Chain A
Amino acid sequence: MTDTPLLSVRDLVVQFPTRKGVLTAVDGVSFDIKRGEVLGVVGESGAGKSMTGAAIIGLIEPPGRIASGQVLLDGERIDNLSVSQMRRVRGKKVGMVFQDPLTSLNPLYTVAQQLVETVRTHLPLSEKQAREHALALLDEVGIPAAKRRMDDYPHQFSGGMRQRVVIALALAAEPELVIADEPTTALDVSVQAQIIDVLKRLCSERGAAVMLITHDMGVIAETADRVAVMYAGRVAEIGPVRDVVQHAKHPYTQGLMGSIPTLAHDSDRLVQIHGSMPRLTDIPPGCAFNPRCAHAFDRCRQDRPSPIQTGERAVACWLADQEVGQ
């Protein structure tokens, strides 16, 4: 394993200065994504999943900022690039799919116009070639009668169809990594699986890696190669999907997994563990999970556990640390 990972996030810290003081939304997150790999990211609302994605693609809204840490793509830092350098990374190397297809498309331009502009921004194609490329993409994402529909406006498509268009747009310039932030949450349940299939198929055909943020453990189990569980701005546990789902080590992950009875079952939303995640303003000292943890002991309330790597897995819990120590 000498080859560098496609994406490497190192001790990422994202902060928001506010009147009440500095809020830390992402607090020392590290993970890698290999080429062509699908990394699932799960965690309760507010865990910092979207913020991590936004930090990677360099679109954190001011006054929020990356306070420390690094983001490396192909071994090169992209977190400190100039605005124009970063613009060339976006779309071309890192694509992004947003949650709500109803609001992701500009209502005043046709689907073809938006695709052609995106393609031509990054690839040296003529208008005509770009149009052909756009048509091929729309066919690929499964827009029926794409040739006829491509000159329609976004509002003329259904939600599911629009999300296919969004995927086509995100993949238009063949990025190596696609960040999909809850790509199906806003969609009708009946089309969610299709959209995930389209995303998975197109990315694997292109060898693109995916960072798939979702609340749906079923989707993670079927789609992802590895999964990262986030809690209060930190990674609680990360590892191959099978291991994490079947033998969760972190008490928080165990709670999450206990809440999915069977895979492919439709009760996919995470059932909350007793209590709720602390707000950013009052994250407890030590392990952020300790007030809700059934196994918490003294050390958990004083020292913050760092992820301990064992094989392909890393767990940020003092219990796991003891196991390793023994």
Chain B
Amino acid sequence: MLAFTIRRLIQSIGVMLVVSLIAFVMFRFVGDPVDQMVGLETTIEEREILREQLGLNDATPVQFLRFVGNAIQGDFGVSYQFKRPVATILGERMPATLELAFVSAILALVAGIPMGVYTALRRESVLSKLFLMISLIGVSLPTFLIGILFIFLFAVVFQILPSFGRGEIVDLGWWRTGLLTSSGLKALILPSITLALFQMTLIMRLVRSEMLEVLRTDYIKFCQARGLRSRSVNFGHALKNTLVPVITIAGLQIGSLIAFAIITETVFQWPGMGLLFLQAVQNVDIPIMAAYLLLIAFLFVMINMAVDMLYVVVDPRIRIGGGEE
């Protein structure tokens, strides 16, 4: 278990270093950082002084090490657009994205797992076929289209939900949350459903196919042959086995929820990191782009590790190694 944890940790650090390198290359070689920071009237000498100050004349490996060192300390430089530290800006935007992704993940799991189980157990029922049809729509319609459709229906036609923004925010000092006010919660409904829909259909289909697979196994047949109650066979024995592989994929999906949030945040003008990133792309604000990339990679890596740990907890075959005879 310890060896496993250490191995995963080393892998994670490797991944982060590779992503750092990409971010660094982007930061250092896409356009000249000095050009982005100073006006046209700055003289060559002044530029040279700035260059020296920023360490841009040092050897590239040294620069990379400094970049990584700074990043570890949360220093991603200064945004070209806002002239403020990138870390501060991201810190302000992060709660919005994480709240959106978190609520969407819960929605996707809470709706997707029961729907998947239901469609696996009642393959022929009308409701199952309806679920499968909805899931087909969820997978095939692009997120922005669903978002715009929702806005049109609920904000324009029925006028019951806001079409943009986060509503009223409560500042907890270290976290600005929209979960504590009714307008904040209302504002969350459309974006979170939009973002959750795709993941929900994925999870539903995954649970369904895994569950069908498990229901065909010998141990489920043996459970039935022992006359165990069908509730226990379906939910105790089959579902538990179904969830082992589902955990992995669902966990990774949560990572991609944060990444996918870019589109949803744009459609709903949700003041999160995704929207910030898109604006940064438009304005070639490299420090923000680089920092966002690193942050997303970091989240992915952390989620991956958490998923692996969870896997170990759930599956005794991994938790308690090989066979004693």
Q: Which residues of A contact B (CB under 8 A)?
A: 57, 59, 83, 87-92, 95-96, 98, 100, 103-110, 117-118, 121-122, 152-153, 155-158, 161, 166, 169-170, 172-173
Contact = CB atoms under 8 A, between A and B. Distances in A.
A157 B323 contact: yes
Contacts of B320: 152-153, 155-156
Interface of B: 217-219, 221-230, 232, 236-237, 240-241, 244, 314-317, 320, 322-325
A13 to B, nearest CB: 22
B153 to A, nearest CB: 41
Interface centre among B217, B228, B237 (most CB of A within 10 A): B228
Contacts of A152: 320, 324
B229 A87 contact: yes
Contact of B316 (A88, A108, A158): A108
A280 to B, nearest CB: 21
A90 B218 contact: no
A163 to B, nearest CB: 12
A103 B226 contact: no
A156 B323 CA distance: 4
A98 B227 contact: no
A108 B225 contact: no
A90 B225 contact: yes
Chain A to chain B: the 3 pairs with minimum beta-carbon distance, closest first: A91-B227, A90-B227, A91-B226
A89 B227 contact: yes
Given A156-B323, A158-B323, A173-B227, A117 B218 contact: no
Given A96-B222, A155-B323, 8 more contacts: A57-B225, A87-B229, A90-B226, A90-B227, A103-B219, A107-B317, A117-B232, A155-B317
B244 A105 contact: no
Contacts of A169: 222, 226
A280 B226 CA distance: 30
Contacts of B229: 87, 121
B227 A88 contact: yes
Contact of A121 (B225, B228, B314): B228
Contacts, number: 96
Contacts of A166: 222
Nearest to A113: B236
29 contacts: A87-B227, A87-B230, A90-B227, A91-B225, A91-B228, A95-B225, A96-B225, A98-B221, A103-B217, A103-B219, A104-B218, A104-B219, A105-B219, A106-B219, A106-B237, A107-B219, A107-B316, A108-B240, A108-B244, A108-B315, A121-B232, A152-B324, A155-B316, A156-B324, A157-B324, A157-B325, A158-B325, A172-B226, A173-B226
Nearest to B238: A106
Contacts of B224: 59, 90
Nearest to A144: B325
A78 to B, nearest CB: 12
B226 A98 contact: no
B218 A153 contact: no
A299 B147 CA distance: 76
A283 to B, nearest CB: 28
A153 B316 contact: yes
A240 B219 CA distance: 34
B222 A95 contact: no
Contact of B221 (A59, A109, A155, A157): A59
Given A107-B241, A117-B232, A153 B317 contact: yes
A117 to B, nearest CB: 7
B143 to A, nearest CB: 36
A9 B230 CA distance: 26
B317 to A, nearest CB: 5
A95 B226 contact: yes
A117 B320 CA distance: 22
Nearest to B317: A155
Contact of A106 (B223, B227, B314, B325): B223
Interface centre among A88, A109, A122 (most CB of B within 10 A): A109
A100 B218 CA distance: 8
